Amino acid sequence: MFLRNCWYVIAWDYEIPADGLFARTVLNEPIVVFRTATGYAALEDRCCHRHAPLSKGRKEGDQLRCGYHGLKFDAGGQCVDAPGLDRVPSGAKVRSYPIVARNKWLFVWMGDPAKAEERLLPDNFSNDHPDWRNKPGYLHYATPYLLICDNLLDFSHLSYVHEKTLGGSTAIARARPEIEVLERGVRVTRRVPDVPPPPYYHNIRKFSGNVDRWFIYDFLFPGTLLMSSGGKLAGQQEANPANSVMLHSCQTLTPETANATHYFFQQSHRADAGDASLTEGIFQSLIIAFNEDRDMIKAQSESIARNPGAAMLPLGIDSALVRYRRLLEEAIARDG
């Protein structure tokens, strides 16, 4: 069901308290995260003694004490103190997960720790780069993550789901994307020439006429979108920060369970394009649009659940999501 030998985002770094514990479920596995002197630790959120959630305990320096009977675990998951016992039993330990901080995202490795290579982390540079500004976002979906992947892999929906927000033109749905297969995903390029600026562009730049829009993104395992997008005055030779809208977005999906998903996202504007009010305006536009997505995908998921055996009609516009799903299935097969 899931690709396990892969990095999954478990949190934005700001979500982890300085001197407390943070709990979140990833791939059906409860995990507790806390800060250490050198970074972060991620442990199974279930004490090996009576299976109480460790997140109900407390942080003690670089260690975590269970709030039920007081067993204390180090950052590697080994119990180092068992109140009332002369010695700590050798089997007193919980699973630990490799965890890495990269540009404000915290990634956990859900498979074999020996295979946890940092070179496999996505290039989410705009999350934390002086040339870009953004406000981080999180949404929870009560739907399978692959349905959200499908949505992100076919931007033709912008013309209809986001008609009054991110879309603004049916030409997006008519534009044919170019699809390139990558080692761990696909690259999608969609160019939409000579269309009215979408409504949310007006917060960024005033255009005197139509614009040429572009969406160029890598969609990588497990479900991460890294996108350059924007618009320039129609017919203008090159886009530049002075007279164009230039954006970079990092979005990623982390399955909570088979039917629930964590969605981490941001859309950055050039730092020289505006101040904090622009950053907030873009964020609010995203919240409106992504709630439009969530409402549609939730309704779709409920429709599928009513008749799970019903076949969907494949169309040419599905090429990116079909290729991505095939690549993911092959990767999961190799994983097992």
Q: Per-residue pLDDT for the chain (336 aa), expressed as one digit of tens each?
A: 899 999 999 999 999 999 999 999 999 999 999 999 999 999 999 999 999 999 999 999 999 999 999 999 999 999 999 999 999 999 999 999 999 999 999 999 999 999 999 999 999 999 999 999 999 999 999 999 999 999 899 877 776 677 666 656 677 777 788 999 999 999 999 999 999 888 778 878 888 889 999 999 999 999 999 999 999 999 888 887 778 899 999 999 999 999 999 999 999 999 988 899 999 999 998 898 888 899 889 999 999 999 999 998 888 888 999 999 999 999 999 987
pTM: predicted TM-score of the whole model, two decimal places: 0.94
Query: Under CATH, domain 7-120 is a member of which superfamily?
Result: Rieske [2Fe-2S] iron-sulphur domain (2.102.10.10)
Domains 7-120 and 125-335 share a fold: no
What are the sequence ranges of the domains in the chain? Answer: 7-120, 125-335
Distance CA 83, CA 285 (A): 53
Q: Which fold has domain 125-335?
A: Naphthalene 1,2-dioxygenase Alpha Subunit; Chain A, domain 1 (3.90.380)
